[in-house]
Amino acid sequence: MAFILYPETSGCKHQLSSATIAWMASKASKKLSVTLKRLRQERGWTQQEAASQCRIKYKYYQEHESSKPRDVRLSTLEKLATGFDIPLADLFDER
């Protein structure tokens, strides 16, 4: 996942280092992977069924669940959230 973040501090914008962004993206990818697997298993779905329910390609779903590094679009996150019938933010909730 690629993010550019500019946290607000005293009215100034500070760009995060590429290492920090890579670390944050890695953590987000892992959280997404854990959550997708948990949600799928709770529903008794195969990965193929989850991909179909989320209206994305099976291979693409499989890559996200296995946490292989890959950029993810907001539109894909929206499809995943819709397919699992959860708020988008809950995709990153490992519970």
What is the CATH classification number for the domain harbouring 64? 1.10.260.40
Domain that holds residue 45: 32-95
* Domain contains 37: yes
Q: List Cα–Cα distances, 93 to 27, 78, 90, in angstroms.
A: 12, 15, 5
Q: Which of the residue ranges 14-23, 43-52, 72-81, 83-92 would you say has the lowest mean pLDDT?
A: 14-23
Q: Rounded distance, CA 42 to CA 63, Å?
A: 19
pLDDT of residue 38: 96
Q: Confirm if 53 and 81 have CB atoms less than 8 A apart.
A: no
Mean per-residue pLDDT for 22-36? 87
Structural domain contains residue 7 = no
* pTM for this model (two decimals): 0.76
Instruction: Give residues with Cβ within 8 angstroms of 50, minimum separation 6.
Output: 36, 39, 40, 43, 61, 65, 83, 84
Sign of CA dihedral 33, 36, 38, 41: negative
